[in-house]
Amino acid sequence: MLGVIGAAFVEAGRDEVPDEVAAFEADLAIASPGYHPDHPLLLWAGEHGIPIWGDIELAWRLRDKVLRPDGSPVDWICVTGTNGKTTTTQLTATMLVSGGLRAAPAGNIGVPVLDAIRDPGGFDVLVVELSSYQ
């Protein structure tokens, strides 16, 4: 995925901002869902005016790069709320598949959304479960 967007990978300890990152003058930070918003690297990025995206935001912005056979981007159905997200997501994906579409639950359940957009078989529809913070 990094090659698609022309990005580099730099690994560091959990509580540090690597010199390579500070010197790189990044235009964008992609945060893993496991990173807490008060992680030093994310705080540093925010203090330096660097936009911070999560995996869902990245997948959404790359959606026009992953096309169906007819050349159109995959449709997304996003499900959020207090209760019933997982059930609604699973039932919706199942109904779409029963209707003949290539559909998959993604996001917080099913296929990770970044994997789903790279699936070589492709999908017509992704049913994406999102938490309120996403």
Q: Are residues 107 and 68 in the same domain?
A: yes
Q: Are residues 43 and 73 in the same domain?
A: no
Task: Give pLDDT, residue 5.
Answer: 74
Task: Give pLDDT, residue 26.
Answer: 84
Ranked by mean pLDDT, the top range of 21-25, 61-65, 93-97 is 93-97
Q: Are residues 39 and 10 in the same domain?
A: yes
What domain count does the chain have?
2
Q: Are residues 89 and 125 in the same domain?
A: yes
In a domain, residue 42? The reply is yes
Q: Are residues 45 and 73 in the same domain?
A: no
In a domain, residue 134? The reply is no
In a domain, residue 103? The reply is yes
In a domain, residue 84? The reply is yes
Tokens of 15: 């509580």
Q: Are residues 70 and 125 in the same domain?
A: yes
User: Mean of the pLDDT values across residues 17-40?
Assistant: 82
Q: Are residues 72 and 107 in the same domain?
A: yes
Of residues 29 and 66, which shows the higher confidence score? 29
Task: Give pLDDT, residue 52.
Answer: 94
Q: Which range of residues forms the domain containing residue 105? A: 64-129
Q: Are residues 71 and 119 in the same domain?
A: yes
Of residues 38 and 13, which shows the higher confidence score? 38
Q: What is the dihedral of CA 7, 111, 89, 126, to 10 degrees?
A: 60
In a domain, residue 59? The reply is no
Tokens of 123: 């999908």
Give Cα 99 to chain centroid, integer Å: 26
User: Mean of the pLDDT values across residues 115-131?
Assistant: 88
Q: Are residues 70 and 46 in the same domain?
A: no
Of residues 103 and 5, which shows the higher confidence score? 103
Does pTM surpass 0.85?
Answer: no
CA distance 30 to 7: 10
HSE-CB for 70 with a 13 A CA cutoff? 6
Angle (CA) 78 84 90, round 5°: 60
b/e sequence 58-68, b meaning 16+ C-beta within 10 Å: bbbebbeebee
| pLDDT band with cut points at 50, 70 and 90 for residue 134 | low
